[in-house]
């Protein structure tokens, strides 16, 4: 997708004002009627040379004797914290990524419901193995979940 100059300028202004990639994605859809995947927005921001402002890093877990924060292969190695969006949402990254995914892990929402998540090759986020059938997380939990995943992946260089 190619943006016109006004749209590019709006995007640069949003980033300068401290907007996250998710914020930019939402505003492009709402204000310009442009629907893009998260990965497309990320690539567009890089292409335009805009610099997303860093958010404070969460406190790291104490490393194990081998220098890693996880117990072993396939074990979650990062945990989320309360980030101000509502209840505490805990997100973990799998050391061994699910087949067909760029990244995968687990999530525990503020009400204790757990699920597995994965980010596919197209930048789509999916939930599976939800501990409560038919469950729909609150808007605040979804926002906190997306922010936690973004932070976890950014800390890994994605």
Domain boundaries, the chain: 5-48, 57-158
β-pairing verdict for 125-128 and 114-120 = antiparallel
What per-residue confidence (pLDDT) applies to 59? 52
Residues 6+ apart with CB under 8 A from 101: 118, 119, 120, 121
Q: What is this structure's pTM? A: 0.46
What per-residue confidence (pLDDT) applies to 41? 84
Percent with pLDDT over 70 in the chain: 78
The structure tokens listed for 21 are 């990639």
Q: Is the dihedral of CA 7, 10, 15, 20 positive or negative?
A: negative
Q: What is the pLDDT of residues 56-77, one digit of tens each?
A: 555 544 444 444 444 434 444 4
pLDDT of 83 > 60? The answer is: no
Lowest-confidence pick of 40-54, 61-75, 98-112: 61-75
pLDDT of 43 > 50? The answer is: yes
Report d(CA 36, CA 27) in Å as an integer: 11
Mean pLDDT computed over every residue of the chain: 77
Nearest C-alpha neighbor of 148 from the set 51, 101, 82: 82
């Amino acid at each position: 997708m190619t943006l016109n100059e006004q749209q590019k300028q709006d995007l640069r202004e949003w980033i300068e004002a401290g907007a996250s990639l998710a914020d930019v994605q939402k505003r492009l859809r709402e204000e310009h009627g442009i629907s893009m995947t998260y990965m497309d927005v990320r690539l567009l921001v890089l292409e335009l040379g805009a610099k997303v402002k860093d958010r404070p890093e969460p406190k790291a877990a104490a490393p194990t004797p081998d220098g890693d924060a996880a117990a072993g292969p396939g074990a979650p190695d990062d945990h989320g914290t309360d980030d101000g969006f509502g209840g505490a949402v805990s997100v973990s990254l799998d050391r061994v990524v699910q087949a067909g995914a760029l990244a995968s892990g687990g999530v525990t929402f503020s009400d204790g419901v757990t699920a597995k998540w994965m980010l596919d090759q197209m930048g789509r986020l999916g939930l599976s193995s939800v501990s409560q059938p038919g469950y729909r997380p609150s808007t605040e939990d979804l926002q906190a979940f997306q922010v936690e995943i973004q932070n976890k992946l950014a800390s890994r260089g994605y």
